[in-house]
C-alpha cells in the first residue's frame, strides 16, 4: 500500500544487478496489490518481468525524480535508501567531481584518490565564520561548525571520522586539524599549532603500513584532543591510541609491508650516523621482506625519513632520544633474522651476527638470550628443570619478543609526543578528533580483524543512537509528524561478541585451560552459538566462524591461533633477561608487567569506550544540548576502477537509513 502510494511520484525503480549493483528500470504497467509480477523496461530497451511474491511483496526501491538528484543534502531526497544514496553521490562525483555531500548533520565524503584544489588556506578563510548550511558541503564546514559551537556556544566538541580502510579518514582528520590550526593561531613564538600537526607524520611513520587496501593504512586508532584557551586559541593537544596491530611487526601478508619506519631506516642504511645499527636493505631482513615488494609506488622512503626526523625535532624530541628509538627499531630487525636451527641448540647461534647486533644494541647478554629463547624452565614439585623447546616454540618466543618491544616503543613515543604537546595551565575547551580504523574484511580475517570489527560495531551503535535521537529531536521541535524509524540496531551482534558465554567470554575461558586449543574453543562456539542467527559455522571448515556484522558477513580464521594471540605469551625467562639488561634510556624495552593480549585489548577497548563515554555523557543523548555536540563525518570508499566502481561502493558503504 505504502509503496503504491509513494510510487505516485515516480515511474522508475532500482533493481539489483550482478555487474552494476543497482540499475534503473521504468514501470511500464500499473501494479496492483496481489499481482505476482511487475512489468519493467530496462534502460537498454529490454522488457524485464520482476517477480513479486503476493504473500510478502518485495517491491524494488523507488527511484527519485531526476530533478532531486544531485542535491547537496541527502535528506532532501524523497526516497532515501541505498540505491538512492549511491546514485546521488555518483551523480555529484562523476558529473561534477564533488566529493562532499551532507546527510543532515553528517558529512559523507567520497575518496577522489587524487589531489583536488579545495584545501588551500583561501578556502579555509572562506569557510571561517560561515554557517554550515550556507556553504557547499566540506570537511572545513564541519570543522568550522565544531569551532563555532565551541567558541560561541561554549560546548566541547568531537568529530568522529569513520569508514572502512582506505576511505580517507586519516586525510580528513588531518584537514580538520589543519583547519583549527589556521583559524585559531596561537600567535606565540612556540607555534604550538605546528607541533600539533607535526604529531601526524610521526604516528603515521610508526603506526601506518601498506596493506592491500591502502598504501598508507593506519594500523591503530587515534583520538586527538586539541586544547584551547579562553580566547579559543590552540594551547596544546593530547593523543590516545588504540589497538596497534602488533602482529604486523613479525608477519605481513603478500604485497603488504611492515610499518613505514622500518623501510625509512633501511633506505638510510649507508648513512654515517646509522653505521652502528648495522642495517641492511629492507629485502634482507625477514621482518620487512615477507610481503614480497619492499617499495611503494610513488613513495620515497629516504625522503620520508627526513620528514620523520624533522618532525621529531620540531616536537623537541632530541637527537639522543631519536637515536635510542632507531637503536630499538634496528634491534627488532636483527632479532627477526636470528636463525633458530634445531631444538635446544644454543651453541650454533653464538656466532650469529644478527643475534650479536641485537644484543649489542640493547645491551642484552647473548648467552642468556639464547638460553631462554631455546629453553624453558619447568617448575616441578621438588625441583626446577630446564628443558629445550621445539624449534617452532623458540621462533614463537622470538617473534613475541619483537612484537612486545615494538608495542612498548610505540607507547613510549606517543607518551613523549604528549609530553611535548602538554598544555601549560588549564585547558578551557577542547575539540576531539577520532580517527578509528574502519571495518575490515580481507581474504583471511584473523584475530586482529575480529577486534577491529568489534570496535566498529561499538562505534556504529553510538552513531545510530546519536543520529536518530538528534533527528527525532529536530522533528519534534518543528512539529513535523514523524514515525519512529525502525533503524538497524546492532546490539545483537555486540551481545554475540561480548555477552556472557559470548565469543570473547568463551575465548578467555579457553585460554585458562592448559589443554585449550583453537579447535576446542571453536567447538564450543559451534555448540553454544549455532542457534544465534548472526553466527555461522562455515560448511566446509572446522577452523573458522562467520559473523554477520552491520557492514558485512565476515569469516574469521587465524593461522597463528586465536588462543595464541589472546594469550600473547611472552616467556617469563625472556622477560627476566630483558629486565636485567642495561637500560639504554627510558625507551629501552624493560617489560615490567606483561598483560595478556586480552587484558591489553580490554584496557584499550575500555579506553576506547571511554571516548564513546565521553560522547555519551557529553552528547545530547539523555540531555539535549548539553556539554558537547558531535559532528560525524562518514566516509564512503569508492574505487575508480572500471566496472567495479559501484559494486565496491555498495559492498562497502552501508547506510543506516
Ligand X SMILES: *[C@@H]1O[C@H](CO)[C@@H](O)[C@H](O)[C@H]1NC(C)=O
Ligand Y SMILES: Nc1ncnc2c1ncn2[C@@H]1O[C@H](COP(=O)(O)OP(=O)(O)OP(=O)(O)O)[C@@H](O)[C@H]1O
Select the binding partner of residue 64 from ligand Y, Mg ion, ligand X, none (C-beta < 5 to 8 A, by kind): none
Query: For ligand X, which is the closer residue by CB, 275 or 626?
Result: 626
CB of residue 415 vs ligand X: minimum separation in angstroms?
20
> Which of 399, 362, 143 is CA-nearest to residue 251?
399
Chain positions contacting ligand Y, by CB under 6 A: 111-116, 163, 165-171, 214, 216-218, 437-438
Q: Is 430 in the site for ligand X (CB under 6 A)?
A: yes
CB of residue 407 vs Mg ion: minimum separation in angstroms?
19
Instruction: Determine which one of 214, 289, 445, 604 is catalytic.
Output: 214
Question: Of these, 208, 349, 460, 604, which contacts ligand X (CB under 6 A)?
Answer: 208
DSSP label at residue 255? T
> Any long-range contacts for 413-420 (C-beta under 8 Å, 24+ apart)?
413/202, 413/206, 413/325, 413/587, 414/203, 414/239, 414/241, 416/315, 416/317, 416/321, 417/199, 417/202, 417/203, 417/239, 417/315, 417/317, 418/238, 418/239, 420/195, 420/315, 420/316, 420/317
CB of residue 572 vs ligand X: minimum separation in angstroms?
36
> Which of 144, 145, 151, 150 is CA-nearest to residue 179?
144
Q: What angle do CA 494, 499, 504 make, to 5 degrees?
A: 85
Instruction: Determine which one of 111, 162, 170, 630 is catalytic.
Output: 170
Beta strands in 86-138, from DSSP E residues, in sequence order:
100-103, 106-110
Active site residue 166: yes
**How far is the C-alpha of 278 from the C-alpha of 353, rounded, in Å?**
10
Select the binding partner of residue 607 from ligand X, ligand Y, Mg ion, none (C-beta < 5 to 8 A, by kind): none
Active site residue 165: yes
Select the binding partner of residue 214 from ligand X, ligand Y, Mg ion, none (C-beta < 5 to 8 A, by kind): ligand Y
**How far is the C-alpha of 218 from the C-alpha of 152, rounded, in Å?**
34
CB of residue 177 vs ligand Y: minimum separation in angstroms?
13
User: DSSP letters of 565-604?
Assistant: HHHT---HHHHHHHHHSPPSSTTS----SPPPHHHHHHHH
Active site residue 217: yes
Query: For ligand Y, which is the closer residue by CB, 113 or 488?
Result: 113
Query: For ligand Y, which is the closer residue by CB, 17 or 215?
Result: 215
How distant, in Å, are the alpha carbons of 217, 480, 509, 595 from that of 220?
Answer: 9, 42, 27, 18
E strand or H helix that includes residue 377: strand 375-379
- Tell me the three state secondary structure of residue 390: coil
Show contacts with ligand X in window 236-265 (CB under 6 A).
Answer: 260
Q: Is 204 in the site for ligand X (CB under 6 A)?
A: yes
Query: For ligand X, which is the closer residue by CB, 308 or 453?
Result: 308
Select the binding partner of residue 477 from ligand Y, ligand X, Mg ion, none (C-beta < 5 to 8 A, by kind): none
CB of residue 9 vs ligand X: minimum separation in angstroms?
43
Cβ-contact 581, 363 below 8 angstroms: yes
Cell matching residue 622: 539523555
Instruction: Determine which one of 172, 217, 241, 630 is catalytic.
Output: 217
Show contacts with ligand X in window 139-198 (CB under 6 A).
Answer: 154-156, 171
Q: Is 231 in the site for ligand X (CB under 6 A)?
A: no
Q: Is 427 in the site for ligand X (CB under 6 A)?
A: yes
Query: For ligand Y, which is the closer residue by CB, 217 or 453?
Result: 217
Binding residue ranges: 163-170
Binding residue ranges for ATP: 163-170
Select the binding partner of residue 429 from Mg ion, ligand Y, ligand X, none (C-beta < 5 to 8 A, by kind): ligand X
DSSP label at residue 140? H
Handedness of CA 292, 296, 300, 304 (dihedral sign): negative
Show contacts with Mg ion in window 157-176 (CB under 5 A).
Answer: 169-170
Q: Is 218 in the site for Mg ion (CB under 5 A)?
A: yes
Select the binding partner of residue 115 from ligand X, Mg ion, ligand Y, none (C-beta < 5 to 8 A, by kind): ligand Y
- Tell me the three state secondary structure of residue 178: helix
Select the binding partner of residue 307 from Mg ion, ligand X, ligand Y, none (C-beta < 5 to 8 A, by kind): ligand X
CB of residue 457 vs ligand Y: minimum separation in angstroms?
16
User: DSSP letters of 296-350?
Assistant: -TT--HHHHHHHHHHHHHHTT--HHHHHHHHHHHHHHHHHHT----STT--GGGG
Instruction: Determine which one of 221, 336, 438, 653 is catalytic.
Output: 438
Q: Is 304 in the site for ligand X (CB under 6 A)?
A: yes
CB of residue 245 vs ligand Y: minimum separation in angstroms?
11
DSSP label at residue 277? G
**How far is the C-alpha of 623 from the C-alpha of 350, rounded, in Å?**
66
Query: For ligand X, which is the closer residue by CB, 598 or 633?
Result: 633
Determine the interface stretch with ligand X among 48-56, 359-367, 422-430, 470-478 (rule: CB under 6 A).
422-430
Query: For Mg ion, which is the closer residue by CB, 169 or 327?
Result: 169
Question: Of these, 82, 307, 552, 555, which contacts ligand X (CB under 6 A)?
Answer: 307
Instruction: Determine which one of 88, 156, 162, 218 is catalytic.
Output: 218
Determine the interface stretch with ligand X among 63-71, 201-209, 381-389, 584-592 (rule: CB under 6 A).
201-209
Select the binding partner of residue 116 from Mg ion, ligand Y, ligand X, none (C-beta < 5 to 8 A, by kind): ligand Y
Query: For ligand Y, which is the closer residue by CB, 167 or 265?
Result: 167
Q: Which residue is nearest to ligand Y (CB)?
A: 168
Select the binding partner of residue 629 from Mg ion, ligand X, ligand Y, none (C-beta < 5 to 8 A, by kind): none
Residues 6 or more apart in contact with residue 521 via CB below 8 angstroms: 506, 507, 510, 562, 563
Q: Grid cell 550556507 — which residue?
A: 134
Query: What's the half-sphere exposure (Cβ side, CA atoms, 13 Å) at 219?
Result: 26
Query: For ligand X, which is the closer residue by CB, 154 or 318?
Result: 154
CB of residue 264 vs ligand X: minimum separation in angstroms?
7
Burial 69-104 (b: 16+ CB within 10 A, else e): bbbeebeebebbebbbbbbbbbebbeeeebbbbbbe
User: DSSP letters of 446-463?
Assistant: -HHHHHHHHHHHHHHHHH
**DSSP-based helix, strand, coil % in the chain, nearest 5:** 45, 15, 40
CA dihedral 73, 77, 81, 86 (to 10 degrees): -60
Cell matching residue 370: 639464547
Binding site for ligand X (CB under 6 A): 154-156, 171, 201, 204-205, 208, 216, 260, 304, 307, 427, 429-430, 627
- Which residues are known catalytic residues? 165-166, 170, 214, 217-218, 438, 440
Query: Residues in the site for Mg ion, rule: CB under 5 A?
Result: 169-170, 218
Amino acid at each position: 500500500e505504502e509503496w503504491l502510494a509513494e510510487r505516485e511520484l515516480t515511474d522508475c525503480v532500482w533493481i539489483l544487478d550482478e555487474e552494476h549493483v543497482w540499475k534503473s528500470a521504468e514501470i511500464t504497467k500499473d501494479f496492483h496489490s496481489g499481482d505476482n509480477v511487475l512489468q519493467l523496461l530496462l534502460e537498454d530497451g529490454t522488457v524485464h518481468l520482476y517477480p513479486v511474491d503476493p504473500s510478502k511483496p518485495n517491491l524494488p526501491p523507488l527511484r527519485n525524480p531526476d530533478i532531486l538528484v544531485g542535491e547537496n543534502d541527502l535528506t532532501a531526497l524523497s526516497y532515501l535508501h541505498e540505491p538512492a544514496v549511491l546514485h546521488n553521490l555518483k551523480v555529484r562525483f562523476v558529473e561534477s567531481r564533488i566529493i562532499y555531500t551532507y546527510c543532515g548533520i553528517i558529512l559523507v565524503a567520497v575518496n577522489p584518490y587524487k589531489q583536488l584544489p579545495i584545501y588551500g588556506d583561501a578556502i579555509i578563510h572562506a569557510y571561517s565564520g560561515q554557517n554550515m548550511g550556507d556553504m557547499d558541503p566540506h570537511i572545513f564546514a564541519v570543522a568550522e561548525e565544531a569551532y563555532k559551537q565551541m567558541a560561541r556556544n561554549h560546548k566541547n566538541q568531537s568529530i568522529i571520522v569513520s569508514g572502512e580502510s582506505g576511505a580517507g579518514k586519516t586525510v580528513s582528520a588531518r584537514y580538520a586539524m589543519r583547519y583549527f590550526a589556521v583559524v585559531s593561531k596561537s600567535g606565540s613564538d612556540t607555534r604550538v599549532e605546528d607541533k600539533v600537526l607535526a604529531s601526524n607524520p610521526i604516528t603515521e611513520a610508526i603506526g601506518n603500513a601498506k596493506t592491500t587496501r591502502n598504501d598508507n593504512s593506519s594500523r591503530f586508532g587515534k583520538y586527538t584532543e586539541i586544547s584551547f584557551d579562553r580566547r579559543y586559541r590552540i594551547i596544546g593537544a593530547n593523543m590516545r591510541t588504540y589497538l596497534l596491530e602488533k602482529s604486523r611487526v613479525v608477519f605481513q601478508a603478500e604485497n603488504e609491508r611492515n610499518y613505514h619506519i622500518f623501510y625509512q631506516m633501511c633506505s638510510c642504511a649507508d648513512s654515517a650516523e646509522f653505521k652502528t645499527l648495522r642495517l641492511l636493505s629492507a629485502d634482507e631482513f625477514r621482518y620487512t621482506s615477507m610481503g614480497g615488494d619492499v617499495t611503494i609506488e610513488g613513495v620515497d622512503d629516504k625522503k620520508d625519513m627526513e620528514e620523520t626526523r624533522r618532525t621529531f625535532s620540531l616536537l623537541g624530541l632530541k637527537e639522543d632520544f631519536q637515536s635510542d628509538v632507531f637503536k630499538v627499531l634496528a634491534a627488532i630487525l636483527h632479532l627477526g633474522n636470528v636463525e633458530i636451527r634445531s631444538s635446544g641448540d644454543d651453541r650454533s647461534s653464538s656466532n650469529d651476527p644478527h643475534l650479536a647486533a641485537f644484543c649489542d644494541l640493547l645491551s642484552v647478554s647473548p648467552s642468556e638470550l639464547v638460553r631462554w629463547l631455546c629453553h624453558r624452565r619447568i617448575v616441578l614439585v621438588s625441583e626446577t628443570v630446564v628443558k629445550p623447546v621445539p624449534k617452532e616454540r623458540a621462533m614463537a618466543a622470538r617473534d613475541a619478543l619483537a612484537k612486545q618491544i615494538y608495542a612498548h616503543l610505540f607507547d613510549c613515543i606517543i607518551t613523549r609526543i604528549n609530553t611535548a604537546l602538554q598544555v601549560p595551565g588549564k585547558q578551557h575547551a577542547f575539540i576531539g578528533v577520532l580517527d578509528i580504523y574502519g571495518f575490515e574484511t580481507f581474504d583471511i580475517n584473523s584475530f586482529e580483524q575480529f577486534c577491529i570489527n568489534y570496535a566498529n560495531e561499538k562505534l556504529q551503535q553510538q552513531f545510530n543512537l546519536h543520529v536518530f535521537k538528534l533527528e527525532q529531536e529536530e522533528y519534534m521541535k518543528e512539529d513535523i509528524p514523524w514515525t519512529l524509524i525502525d533503524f538497524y540496531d546492532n546490539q545483537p551482534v555486540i551481545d554475540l561478541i561480548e555477552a556472557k558465554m559470548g565469543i570473547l567470554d568463551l575465548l578467555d575461558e579457553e585460554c585458562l585451560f592448559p589443554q585449550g586449543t583453537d579447535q576446542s574453543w571453536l567447538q564450543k562456539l559451534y555448540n553454544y552459538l549455532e542457534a544465534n542467527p548472526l553466527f555461522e559455522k562455515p560448511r566446509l571448515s572446522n577452523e573458522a566462524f562467520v559473523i554477520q556484522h552491520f557492514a558485512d558477513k565476515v569469516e574469521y580464521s587465524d593461522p597463528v591461533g586465536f588462543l595464541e594471540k589472546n594469550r600473547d605469551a611472552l616467556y617469563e625467562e625472556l622477560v627476566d633477561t630483558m629486565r636485567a639488561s642495561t637500560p639504554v634510556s627510558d625507551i629501552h624495552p624493560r617489560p615490567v608487567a606483561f598483560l595478556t593480549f586480552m587484558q591489553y585489548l580490554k584496557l584499550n577497548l575500555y579506553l576506547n569506550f571511554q571516548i564513546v563515554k565521553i560522547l555519551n555523557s557529553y552528547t545530547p543523548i539523555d540531555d539535549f544540548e548539553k556539554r558537547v555536540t558531535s559532528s560525524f563525518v562518514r566516509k564512503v570508499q569508492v574505487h575508480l576502477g572500471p566496472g567495479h566502481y559501484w559494486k565496491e561502493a555498495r559492498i562497502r558503504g552501508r547506510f543506516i537509513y
